[in-house]
Amino acid sequence: MSIVSINPANGKQLNTYATLSIDEVREKIEQTHQAWISWKKSDHETRSKLLTNMAGVLRKRKEELAILMANEMGKPITQGIGEVEKCADCCDYYASNGAAHLADRLIQTEAAKSYATFQPLGVVLAVMPWNFPLWQVFRFLAPALAAGNCGVLKHASNVPGCALVIEEVVREAGFPSNVFQTLLIGSSMVSKVIEHPHIKAVTITGSNKAGIEVATKAGSVLKKAVLELGGSDAYVILPDADLQLAVEACVNSRLINSGQSCIAAKRFIVVESVAPQFTKLYLDKMQAKVMGDPLVHSTDVGPQARKDLRDELHDQVLKSIEKGATCILGGKVTPGDHAYYPPTILTNVKPGMPAYEEELFGPVAAIIVAKDEADALRIANDSEFGLGSAVFTRNVEKGEHIARYELEAGSSYVNARVISDPRLPFGGTKHSGYGRELSSFGILEFVNIKTVYIK
């Protein structure tokens, strides 16, 4: 079997890659396990130095890596450069903070000495998506390596070049052979990989369906799993919001990565007294964005990653319109062998529509009008998802209260768009998954928290 990569901007084939047999997969897992036996004994100074090296390799190769992402999944090149720099920052963060996050924690008991210590688990399987083909991997990989774990990667099948280049970067940074390896396999083989006795845990970023399958399999063999799944982030616009600031944040969040982000703003819930003004400003801002060749630096919105994904998105838009939504921008597919979808705005969005109920994974904004603040918060939480959220108000004290207590999400921001940051824990609630990545919380997901008690 083989994996074929296709350029979504023009439909042209980029490359063909042979997939691994089950015996080859088992061999690679064994190699990574043997690497872990040595790597787990490495000290924090060694790990820190190599993570710093990896940050340097990423920065040195950022233009090349951004071009690769643009060609394989359509990411605008300026955003691709930013993604590589963010990966480097993540490596630097764990180089500087890994030892402190893993420091023993003394606990006073009747013992002469008692404490919690954090020991690596072993080889972690990462099942990763195409939308941030480097960042999604490095935000798992940097803390995993800093903790003394090793990793194998099953990447999305439309970004095999990105999957292989990550392995190159790890080697170029000077890490020991096989501490990280890419497995070019299809989704059907993931279950067998999870079953392997040397795989100690699994982390997945992906769809709810994929997350359920991975969690079910991991649970059946008693292995830890971290799930970062879909999102339909609600941004609540209160009557006293700074509308210029809110619209800027809302448009930028909706269009990041051409709309293909779990934490992109997707539902804009506006109190009715400011809804007309917000909608006008939002329309003006969206109309000004440039859709085009992802290799051109002035491009804001590139193609969707695959034509089938573009077509699924368009179907959600059409079904929402059939049920009464109004399309005031975009919503049309141009002919050609490409995966472009224009920035689109739907208004009059109501329950029962895909734009209200489902995740729209592309540059489509759903504007929902609420009667008042209480109604806006009710609508925001009226979702199976709970990844990110935001509230816009000039009353910062009220905004903080809403973010802390009212919005059902793993991250809630006030007067700003939701982002992932190595310094902050990242993850969701409800059907957006469980567990956390990044910060001290992320590095502790894949360690044995061991009690040591000395009489």
Q: Which residues contact 436 (CB under 8 A, 6 or more apart)?
A: 226, 410, 425, 426, 427, 442, 445
* 148: region left, alpha or beta (phi > 0 left; psi from -120 to 50 alpha): left
- What are the pLDDT digits (tens) for 379-435? 999 999 999 999 999 999 999 999 999 999 999 999 999 999 999 999 999 999 999
| 387 three-state secondary structure | coil
Averaged pLDDT score across all residues of the chain: 98
- What are the pLDDT digits (tens) for 233-243? 999 999 999 99
Query: Distances from the Cα of 324 to the Cαs of 9, 131, 352, 371, in angstroms?
Result: 32, 30, 10, 19
Report the catalytic residues: 228, 262
What is the pLDDT at residue 443?
Answer: 98
CA distance 207 to 210: 5
Question: How many other CB atoms are found less than 10 A from the CB of residue 424?
Answer: 14
Q: 48 is written with which tokens?
A: 């820190």
Output DSSP code: residue 256.
G
Per-residue pLDDT band for 1 (boundaries 50, 70, 90) equals: confident
- What are the pLDDT digits (tens) for 303-346? 999 999 999 999 999 999 999 999 999 999 999 999 999 999 99
* Domains of the chain, CATH where assigned: 2-229+430-454 (3.40.605.10), 233-414 (3.40.309.10)
DSSP strands (E only) in 321-410:
326-329, 344-347, 364-370, 388-392
Q: 434 is written with which tokens?
A: 């469980």
Radius of gyration of the chain (CA): 22
Query: Distances from the Cα of 306 to the Cαs of 49, 158, 184, 297, 425, in angstroms?
Result: 38, 8, 19, 21, 30
Nearest to 275 by CA among 239, 325, 242, 326: 239
CA distance 186 to 395: 50
Are 179 and 35 in contact by the 8 Å Cβ rule? The answer is yes
| Type of residue found at 177 | S
Output DSSP code: residue 416.
S
CA distance 115 to 356: 49
